[in-house]
Structure 1
């Protein structure tokens, strides 16, 4: 009992560490983005400014990739390493992950910070665990709790850490009691989100990660368009993955890290000249975009969705490494609004099911998808979101089984 109380205490401290590190890291990222994309353009006013910055970022990232290595590590690489070894490498890796991520995010890549944060926190927690006199089993438990809290904190989704653990199959190995697991996840996540929220007040405020949908006005006609919206969303998710495979194959043919990184930088610049919505992960732009999306043309929304998906995969495949989840949500939202503009019957619900279908295809994790979208849409849409996510997953399993 005494050890359990001590472990709960350390879980609270871990959650606070997660919130503090995430807030400080994102605070630095936002400050650098403001310097590069707001302050400097006031001095160097030019239509071609995004192209110059993209090319500059490409040179720096290409040199980093060539002489230091493939950093930051992706979230799946970090989670895979944790599953295989019960730890995350930290010797020299924390500084490399941090530096590479700052370059990628500062110069406008259509990628998110989750990859870098999970790898940085994983390394820090492994370092702390190595200096404790606990068993390997307890160290692995603490690291798992920290990863779950980090995912919950950066996505503003309290339950996503639990869902990730369940779907990755790591929770059952390290926690004997599901109640204990849920309790510790809850404590660690609550402390992480609280610390993150309080510390964020010290930094200039940015738009909240969220989606603005019209007031929920249920219409009978929406029932006729739910299935088409699901199919559109699933189809777009498949296109997102197809673009990723295509850019991966393209990158393999050209083995120069510097050339690839500069090419991605030029792509960022060209897309950025077209619309600022292509820049960055879309986390802070999503709320403002969703407020005006229904007033945009269908063509613009479709091109924005496809362009964002293409640019995200170009960045990732060409050495600008980071997270794809925020851009996937943004581009899926854009395709959902394109459908809702065409058939404006309870448009918020049509967008929600399209995004749920698309993100489930991309992430291949229905419960993670559902918990990510839980607070992005009105709560009355959540049963539809969860149903669609599970339906898409089961359908994909049957399709894969029939192919085999």
Structure 2
């Protein structure tokens, strides 16, 4: 017997039979649809309240809706209202948001009403956070509760994964993002069966979540930017430099997070920390302008449509102010996620590079800036790469971003993340 014949080959994963996967289809469809409906419902409610607070009310009072005075008043008032929810509502709107990531254990159902109210107030009031963390947490808790109640034989982790995938599909408007996140999570686990077998349920939930969001006409990450032409060596260099520099900027926010969190913790009470945080955010809004308020996705579309309307200095100021506002909002207790505002930080930084070097295409500069910032803030490579690529929707951009992600990843991997342990120390 030869040495080659005596050496056992690698174990081959066995495919899961279709009769095992098929029962996952209907629960995944339901979870994906509910996840999308909740996300769209919360977003539209927040948009309607935002119109009242930032247009109707100041018009009735004869005050400029985005004047410095109104920004300070509105952000501080939002801090007071969210502080009341965190203080008085059962469940206190969930754990400290600085300690939470995208993938967490299911919360108790009684926490969810306060969390949703705090999220709507935050989205309408102007703090620089997105809806992703609270919406994912709510959908996970609802799916886990319903699954354990109506299908107790199914593993609890199944409902968690389906809800996460469905919500991510709804948030990004495409199931690809959810598939990448789930596959990244599965990479550290012992899988049963083939990868595609493990993705069948989550991908179904994500596809349904994304298509329901699209059918309801909700905004997506696609900015409609002009596609990038055939790249040259200068484009490769520009992508690498911009993504790496954006990663360094993002890491500045990561490094500041525990210190800012400790400062707000000294206030000891949500009715102190949140109003003070709102006041600080209002002052930052006065410095950076109205575009640095809110979750940032609509504002990214605005600066991307007319990149020549702002100078390099203005773009740099907006990027720094938005990053500072993201850190402050997270540390003082507003409930929200960090991906949406990070996209604005990266987009502003990239367009700053375009303004400094006009030969760099704005689409490339924006995508590379978003890539580097998200790598630093989320520490999730697939999400960062996908989000940056989908903003431009150009096949050419993907190869450039893959190259640019390598040095940027080396700058951030193994370093503190933009998430804290309960004792206030940084997660690594």
1:77 to 91, 100, 116: 100
SS for the counterpart of 2:296 is coil
Count of residues in correspondence between the two structures: 390
What is the match of residue 268 of structure 1? 281
SS for the counterpart of 2:100 is helix
User: RMSD of the alignment, in Å?
Assistant: 2.7
Gap change, CA 1:16 and 1:230, over 3 Å in 2: closer
- Encode CA deviations 1:4-29: one digit per residue, 9 max, x unaligned: 32221221122111222211121111
What is the match of residue 198 of structure 2? 181
TM-score normalised over the length of structure 2: 0.83
TM-score normalised over the length of structure 1: 0.87
What is the match of residue 5 of structure 2? none
What is the match of residue 31 of structure 2? 14
- Encode CA deviations 1:322-351: one digit per residue, 9 max, x unaligned: 111100110111011101111122422233
Gap change, CA 1:280 and 1:234, over 3 Å in 2: same
User: What is the correspondence of 1:2-401 to structure 2 with a 5 Å cutoff?
Assistant: 2=19, 4-46=21-63, 47=67, 48-68=69-89, 70-73=92-95, 74=97, 77=100, 81-82=104-105, 88-137=106-155, 139-169=156-186, 172-173=189-190, 176-198=193-215, 200-201=216-217, 208-211=220-223, 213=225, 216-217=228-229, 218=231, 220-274=233-287, 275-347=289-361, 348-377=363-392, 378-397=394-413
Contact 1:19 1:195 in 2 (8 A): yes
Q: 1:26, 1:75 → 2: CA distance?
A: 22
Gap change, CA 1:133 and 1:64, over 3 Å in 2: closer
Q: 2:181, 2:227 → 1: CA distance?
A: 31
Q: CA deviation at 1:394?
A: 4.2
SS for the counterpart of 2:244 is helix
Tell me which moved more, 95-104 or 175-184: 175-184
- Encode CA deviations 1:44-90: one digit per residue, 9 max, x unaligned: 232322222122112122223333465255497375543xxxxx133
Flag structure 1 segments of 5+ consecutive residues without an equivalent: 83-87
SS for the counterpart of 2:221 is coil
Contact 2:242 2:369 in 1 (8 A): yes
Q: CA deviation at 1:366?
A: 0.9
Q: 1:391, 1:4 → 2: CA distance?
A: 40
Contact 2:242 2:365 in 1 (8 A): yes
Q: 2:104, 2:236 → 1: CA distance?
A: 44
Q: 1:175, 1:368 → 2: CA distance?
A: 24
What is the match of residue 85 of structure 1? none
Gap change, CA 1:132 and 1:318, over 3 Å in 2: same
Gap change, CA 1:244 and 1:395, over 3 Å in 2: closer
Flag structure 2 segments of 5+ consecutive residues without an equivalent: 1-17, 417-427
Contact 2:75 2:278 in 1 (8 A): yes
Q: CA deviation at 1:382?
A: 1.1
Tell me which moved more, 102-111 or 255-264: 255-264
SS for the counterpart of 2:249 is helix
Gap change, CA 1:194 and 1:351, over 3 Å in 2: closer
- Encode CA deviations 1:133-161: one digit per residue, 9 max, x unaligned: 34252x32232022112112112342222
Gap change, CA 1:379 and 1:364, over 3 Å in 2: same
